[in-house]
Amino acid sequence: MKNVIVLVIISLLVFSCKKNNNDQGNPDNPNGNQNQGIVIKGKIAVTAAVSSNNLKSGSTLTLADAKKVLIYSGASYTLVDIVNGSFTGGAESGSATALVFLDANNKYIGNLFAGGLYVLPLDSLKNGKNTTIDLTTLTLSGTSVIPAHNPLGDEIVITAAEINCLKAVSGYYESLSKNIDANNDGVPDIIANKQINIYTMFAICVGKWGINSTLPTIRNIDNCYINYTLHFRGGNGLDVSGRSFALSGPEGGAYSDIELHDFIINDTFLATFKRVTPAPVDAPWGSTFLPFKAGTYTLTLNGSQTYTLTYSNIGAKSNLLLVIPTIHTNSDGKMTSVSFDYKLPNGSTVNPSTILTDVSMQLFDSNRAYVFDGSRDRLTSKTGYGTYTFKTPVDISTLWQMDIFYNDILGNQYDIIWN
């Protein structure tokens, strides 16, 4: 499995954190760009602001203290001003977007909590890319910023089942909001490209692919084998010249078996950690990588730079989307395309774009040599998620395993294994 995971890591390096410097069209800031992305706007009811304990400074802030909104989607962000109690910002279509409210000194006040979610899934939208989401009046409860208008089911087209699926993982964005200043210098890390994101890689062996008229077979999900690795991806403003990465935690119950699995340094860095135990005799691979529990972890760079980060251990099965493949062949028995169905473990069908952002595929023989490598040729909402068609028919006489990779909208990676 290590070879497969390393290949995924390499492919992920194409996603780097990027800043959008434009204030997205605040009417009191006419220099802003109003034509970029989905428009999100709201206003603050000063008299309705409720006290909140600031997570970093320990001071007491209210929503009336909010001067900026950090709108981010994991791979990009926009920082917009609140002017005369109102703001207007932009977000990318197809993203999962969080809104974080800051004071004039970039101190954390709270993050948007709408319809039971800490994130706005901006894929299926009533007016497509021309959608405007007006949250109207916002109030603060604890660190949750509550909009008077809930866009889920209105501007955002989403079913109750899909909302419930996202509720199981929306705590991930709550954790991200707590990690906004991991180096504790009082400035949101992402502003200086010093952000560190945590996510999980799940490798799950689920069944046998379908071929032509033969349907796929799926194992009992409760008995599936899952390997877990914990990934840390950092911005290019971080110093990783020492090429040293260490992880400890969580606080109050630290593991003694955390190992560095691998790391890659390019414009950004990606470091992967694992907890290894012997695998059962009937396991599909030789070792088991254990899960990491929720809590606060310390990542150390270069032996001395420490960062404290909150990890929300999203259970693979709580948000697992089965990407179910059926191979289609020509008269020569060569593979011409693969069609995909998308179902939750309970068998219900969902819109894949609500949960994931891209799908890719790798095919191997029994010696782990490639039959086909499609890691850089991804299905997206623009291409559609239904079918992958090969430019040249592929000989599958030695095909032993199919790995289907997808990124969920929270940044976690899944390797759905069929053999």
**Same domain flag for 205 and 146:** no
- Determine how β-strand 269-278 pairs with β-strand 225-234: antiparallel
**Same domain flag for 27 and 13:** no
**Same domain flag for 82 and 165:** yes
Return the amino acid letter for 205. Answer: C
Task: Tell me the whole-structure pTM to 2 decimals.
Answer: 0.66
**Same domain flag for 162 and 210:** no
Among 136, 160, 191, residue at a domain's last position: 191
- For residue 242, give both structure tokens: 């020492």
Among 157, 191, 225, residue at a domain's last position: 191
Among 129, 156, 191, residue at a domain's last position: 191
Give the number of other Cβ atoms within 10 Å of residue 315's Cβ.
13
Look at residues 293, 300, 315, 304 and name the one whose alpha carbon lies nearest to residue 234.
300
**Same domain flag for 345 and 203:** yes
pLDDT tens, residue order, the chain (419 aa): 323 222 222 222 222 233 443 333 333 333 333 345 799 999 997 654 444 444 444 457 899 999 999 888 755 678 899 999 999 999 888 777 889 898 888 787 888 999 988 888 887 888 888 899 999 999 999 888 999 999 999 999 988 877 876 775 555 555 655 677 777 676 677 777 888 888 888 888 889 999 999 999 988 777 778 899 999 988 888 999 999 999 999 999 999 999 999 999 987 899 999 999 988 777 777 788 999 998 889 999 999 999 988 887 765 565 678 999 999 999 999 999 999 999 888 788 888 887 788 999 999 999 989 999 999 899 988 899 999 999 999 999 999 999 999 987 766 788 999 98
For residue 353, report the phi and psi dihedrals to the nearest 5 degrees.
Answer: -70, -15
**Same domain flag for 171 and 270:** no
**Same domain flag for 179 and 202:** no
**Same domain flag for 203 and 317:** yes
**Same domain flag for 381 and 282:** yes
Query: Residue 332 and residue 318: Cα distance in Å, rounded?
Result: 41
**Same domain flag for 414 and 322:** yes
Contact (Cβ atoms closer than 8 angstroms) between residue 119 and residue 149 = no
**Same domain flag for 282 and 407:** yes
**Same domain flag for 169 and 250:** no
150: left (phi over 0), alpha (psi -120 to 50) or beta: beta
- Determine how β-strand 401-408 pairs with β-strand 356-364: antiparallel
Number of folded domains that form the chain: 2
Q: Which domain holds residue 394?
A: 1-17+193-419
C-alpha dist (Å) from residue 394 to 336, 363, 389, 391, 400: 7, 10, 10, 9, 14
